[in-house]
Amino acid sequence: MKKILSSLALILSAVLFAQNSAPYENTSIIKLLDVSESTKSSLLEFNVNSLACRHDDMSSELIVSQEAINWLETSGIAYKTIVSNLKEKIDHDNAVRAQIANQKDGEDWYNVYRTFDEIQEKIDLIASTYSIATEVYLGDSYEGNQINGLKLSTGGSGKPAVFFNGCQHAREWISPMATVYLADFLCQNNEIDVLTQSVLDSVDVYIVPVVNPDGYIYSHTDERYWRKNRQPNAGNSCVGTDLNRNWDADWAGPQSTSTDPCSDVYVGTEAFSATEANVVKNYMEGIPNMVGHVDIHSYSALVLGAWGYSNAQSPDHAAIVELGNAMNDAMTNTHNYNFTFGTGDADGAIYLASGTMPDWSYDALGALGYTYELRPATSSEGGFELPIDQILDACEENYNGSFQMILSAANISAGCTNPEACNYDSSASVDDGSCEVVDECGDCGGNGPAPGYDCEGNCISGDLINISMNDTYGDGWNGNELLINGVAHTFSNGYTASSSMCYDPNACSTVICGGGSWQEEVSWTITNSLGEELLSGGAPYEGEFGNCSGDVYGCTDNTALNYNAQATIDDGSCLYLTLDEQVIELPLGWYIFSSYIELSEPSIDSVLSAIAPEVVIAKDVTGLAYLPDWNYNGIGDVELDQGYLIKCATAVDLNLVGNKIQPETYVMNLSQGWNMFAYLRDTPGDLAEMLATIQDKIIIVKTYDGTAYLPDWGFNGIGNLNPGEGYQVKLSSDASFTYPAND
Ligand code: 0X9
Ligand code: ZN
């Protein structure tokens, strides 16, 4: 029965929440690519709702009706669709929520966006679970909902205090999640972690997850994109004041404000005219020694320091920048999701805004006041609808950023306390887990050289990969990056770009692509220097290429000159000392021999030494002799282009070993009259063909046994020239020729 009741409750709540999608029937979220003045004024007539709160800003994300889309289409105005059917999207998110909202234990609580009641329950639970946590009541909202929070304190008085609040803006649902998480995990970590204990011993931490309960509830029940509180405006049917324009710091100033109660950035009738801003202000004024404040919003992935109403530098600019950067780095490093810090308009990353809460906490209380804009960075990554599987990541980023503020307020010296570490800090009294060791390049905490590079940044392998990057829309990669071994490649406009980098083909190269918006437009291909594809993909992407199995490629043959004992896979690179052998069959009696082997020891006594007992005599073309029996060498060296007469006492094989010459590279020089010439090819070749170029100078060619070739007589008794044999030739004049290459 209990089960039936609770599933009934689930269905009921799904039906209830479905109402917050009703205003978005037939609407889309779009972004204009190019905003002219005339487009602006025409679009305003379609009653569009700009999601960025800059007055009349059409360059941001807009909720538009189908009629406005039709008008854009017929007018040929370029735009990108971010959510095509907004109502369907909200309904879908509500249905998912209804299915898993009942799982609330531990981290499961952070699997879906929680309602105001669930957040209140969680605050109660934290206060009753942890002794350092006390529930605090700040006051009632306009509609009578309690604004409650938690004070984390180990007791004592006069300690510095820091203040975190979420949800001034109703639709920024990640902000109450992240603030609850901050309280939850500060309490949990305080029980197990020395650094957390040390800081919470010296600082009081105030956390108020929902300072705008009426608006938050309304965004769940009626209008998903509601921003303001729910206070009526006298004489106007439009409801609500923008709490973050109602504070007394440049209140109703010119930056991103409106005095129109229908505007999303309506400033109210005077500073603190909004019930909730007034309640929270009074509570904050009662906290002594407030040194820091973070007002948590979404989205844009920014850390913003005072002032927000002006680009002028405040008197505490240096301190604001120092802590701002520390918080920003801690957030970025949590999941490698990029945050940007700035004061004023943060170099154009956001608009200036008058009357905001952190500017008041700075100007009025002297606390270092900041705005966080949590994940995502862009509307195409979900905007106010950060996908629920990223809630925990966003909470962890907020935790780490916020922890830096608490740490700086605690004013304790945290650092690496291990004397063995390369970043040992002898003045640190508490270890903050930052200890590092030296890498192979001598860098403290470094990861060694990138694959393919040495520690000086030189490309050792000399091997390059080429990266081709494409964007189907033609507007660059919208913040996406292709990280290859940690090196980023991207482009910011056009359809295509290319890049190259050094890599080690024998190592494993890692590839990550993402980090920006419009990921479906992104594609890339990585090729090696031979043009072979190594990897291709889109975004998001995580993968690797190269030798990722731990194999070492090289020559695995231990008889080779370049044998590599470490190699596990043979890559065909083995080099051998390759020697050729020619066997010349010398007959009994006279013969003319020649060789195509380049002899390392060419003197004729060395060449014939192995068969010396069988050799009676050898002679060159001029009649100079070699007589082994007499140990007489009148010939000297054997010349490659020459043939030699030899007389053997028995038939014997002459084995010659060395490198075969390439006959086509060798010029045969013959002189007028008689010559003995060599045949340099390794297979028989037709005499007429071989000597074709000098045929008109040939009177006669003869073999050792007197067989003749007489071109003038058209007689060829020889036929083929044979390897190992030499020939006599009589020429009518000097001549040169070259044999064709071996077959
Ligand atoms: O407009 C706001 O109130 C804040 N942005 S939001 O999208 N969450 O509405 C930003 C206010 C702070 N601005 C600067 N510090 N420049
Ligand atoms: Zn906001």
Residues 219-267: tens digit of each pLDDT: 999 999 999 999 999 999 999 999 999 999 999 999 999 999 999 999 9
Query: What atom of ligand 1 comes closest to residue 53's alpha carbon?
Result: 1
Query: Is residue 118 predicted with pLDDT exceeding 50?
Result: yes
Distance between CA 682 and CA 661 in Å, rounded? 9
Q: Please give the single-letter amino acid code of residue 666.
A: Y
Query: Is residue 57 predicted with pLDDT exceeding 70?
Result: no
Tokens 């994940």: give the residue.
Answer: 375
pLDDT the model gives residue 497: 95
Q: Quick one: average pLDDT of 267-292?
A: 98
Task: State the DSSP code for 276.
Answer: H
- Which region holds residue 344: left if phi is over 0, alpha if psi is between -120 and 50, else beta? left
Distance between CA 90 and CA 69 in Å, rounded? 20
Coil, helix or strand for 703?
Answer: coil
**Which has the closest alpha carbon to 609: 633, 581, 639, 585?**
633
Q: Quick one: average pLDDT of 338-365?
A: 96
Spacing, Cα 225 to ligand 2 middle (Å): 11
Question: For residue 494, what pLDDT band results from cuts at 50, 70 and 90?
Answer: confident
Spacing, Cα 351 to ligand 1 middle (Å): 7
Going by alpha carbons, the residue nearest to atom 15 of ligand 1 is 308
For the record, the structure tokens of 363 come out as 């100007």
Residues 448-479: tens digit of each pLDDT: 888 788 888 888 877 899 999 999 988 889 88
Measuring CA to CA, how many Å separate 210 from each of 155, 170, 670? Answer: 25, 9, 105
Distance between CA 217 and CA 214 in Å, rounded? 5
DSSP tally for the chain: helices H, then strands E: 14, 43
pLDDT the model gives residue 32: 83
Spacing, Cα 345 to ligand 1 middle (Å): 10
Distance between CA 89 and CA 302 in Å, rounded? 26
Coil, helix or strand for 122?
Answer: helix
Mean pLDDT computed over every residue of the chain: 91
Is any atom of ligand 1 closer than 6 Å to the C-beta of 304?
yes
CB 112 within 8 A of CB 100: yes
Distance between CA 727 and CA 720 in Å, rounded? 11
Spacing, Cα 215 to ligand 2 middle (Å): 12
Q: Quick one: average pLDDT of 207-211?
A: 98
Largest Cα separation within the chain, whole Å, is 135
CB 502 within 8 A of CB 456: no
Is any atom of ligand 1 closer than 6 Å to the C-beta of 353?
yes
Which bound ligand lies closest to the C-alpha atom of 358?
1
pLDDT the model gives residue 708: 94
Spell out the alpha helix ranges (H) of 411-507: none
For the record, the structure tokens of 102 come out as 């009942």
Residues 357-404: tens digit of each pLDDT: 999 999 999 999 999 999 999 888 889 999 999 999 999 999 999 999
The residues near 37 (Cβ < 8 Å, ≥ 6 apart) are none
- Which region holds residue 674: left if phi is over 0, alpha if psi is between -120 and 50, else beta? beta
Query: Is residue 76 predicted with pLDDT exceeding 70?
Result: yes
Spacing, Cα 166 to ligand 1 middle (Å): 13
Residue 17: burial class (beta carbons within 10 Å; 0-12, 13-18, 19+): buried
Instruction: Select which of 61, 172, 223, 373 is catalytic.
Output: 373
Is any atom of ligand 1 closer than 6 Å to the C-beta of 297?
yes
Q: Quick one: average pLDDT of 592-620?
A: 93
pLDDT the model gives residue 554: 82
- φ/ψ (deg, to 5) at 203: -135, 145
Pairing, β 644-648 against β 589-593: antiparallel
E strand or H helix at 360, and its extent? helix 357-365
Is any atom of ligand 1 closer than 6 Å to the C-beta of 267?
no
Question: For residue 18, what pLDDT band results from cuts at 50, 70 and 90?
Answer: low
**Of 206-215, 389-398, 560-569, the least confident:** 560-569
Distance between CA 443 and CA 441 in Å, rounded? 6
The residues near 379 (Cβ < 8 Å, ≥ 6 apart) are 29, 31, 51, 61, 82, 299, 517
Measuring CA to CA, how many Å separate 625 from each of 80, 132, 377, 619, 646? Answer: 95, 113, 94, 4, 10
**Which has the closest alpha carbon to 288: 190, 203, 193?**
203
The sign of the CA dihedral 52, 56, 59, 65 is positive
Measuring CA to CA, how many Å separate 127 from each of 83, 112, 120, 134, 160? Answer: 40, 22, 11, 5, 21
Q: Quick one: average pLDDT of 508-516?
A: 90
pLDDT the model gives residue 59: 61
Q: What is the per-residue DSSP string for 232-270?
A: EETTEEEE---GGG-SSSSTT-STT-BS-TTSTTB--SS
Distance between CA 540 and CA 522 in Å, rounded? 9
Is any atom of ligand 1 closer than 6 Å to the C-beta of 277?
no
Query: Is residue 134 predicted with pLDDT exceeding 60?
Result: yes
Q: pLDDT above 70 covers what percent of the chain?
A: 96
State the virtual CA torsion across 84, 85, 91, 93 in degrees, nearest 10: 0
Query: What atom of ligand 1 comes closest to residue 345's alpha carbon?
Result: 16
Pairing, β 161-166 against β 290-298: parallel
pLDDT the model gives residue 483: 94
Q: Which of 244, 255, 320 has most ligand 1 atoms within 8 Å of CB, for mutation?
A: 244
CB 60 within 8 A of CB 54: yes
Spacing, Cα 424 to ligand 1 middle (Å): 39
The residues near 562 (Cβ < 8 Å, ≥ 6 apart) are 554, 555, 573, 574, 575
Most confident of 366-375, 560-569, 621-630: 366-375
The residues near 106 (Cβ < 8 Å, ≥ 6 apart) are none
Which bound ligand lies closest to the C-alpha atom of 256?
1
Number of other residues whose CB lies within 10 A of the CB of residue 725: 20
Which bound ligand lies closest to the C-alpha atom of 257?
1
373 is annotated as an active-site residue: yes
Measuring CA to CA, how many Å separate 698 from each of 592, 709, 733, 737? Answer: 19, 9, 9, 12
Q: What share of the chain is helix, strand, coil (3-state, %, to 5)?
A: 30, 30, 40
Q: Which of 169, 293, 328, 345 has most ligand 1 atoms within 8 Å of CB, for mutation?
A: 169
Spacing, Cα 729 to ligand 2 middle (Å): 103
* CA-based R_g, the chain, Å: 44
Query: How many angstroms from the chain centroid is the CA of residue 202?
Result: 40
> In 663-697, which positions are buried (b, 16+ CB within 10 angstroms) versus exposed (e)?
beeeebebeeeebbbbbbbbeebebbebbeebeeb
Q: Quick one: average pLDDT of 341-348?
A: 94
Is any atom of ligand 1 closer than 6 Å to the C-beta of 345?
yes
CB 653 within 8 A of CB 585: yes
Spell out the alpha helix ranges (H) of 657-736: 687-690
Query: Is residue 6 predicted with pLDDT exceeding 60?
Result: no
Distance between CA 415 and CA 407 in Å, rounded? 11
pLDDT the model gives residue 559: 79
CB 375 within 8 A of CB 397: yes
Spell out the alpha helix ranges (H) of 193-238: 194-202, 213-221
Going by alpha carbons, the residue nearest to atom 9 of ligand 1 is 53
Going by alpha carbons, the residue nearest to atom 14 of ligand 1 is 308
CB 139 within 8 A of CB 147: yes
Query: Is residue 121 predicted with pLDDT exceeding 70?
Result: yes
Which bound ligand lies closest to the C-alpha atom of 343?
1
pLDDT the model gives residue 54: 52
Is any atom of ligand 1 closer than 6 Å to the C-beta of 371?
yes
Report which of residues 572 and 279 the model is more confident about. 279
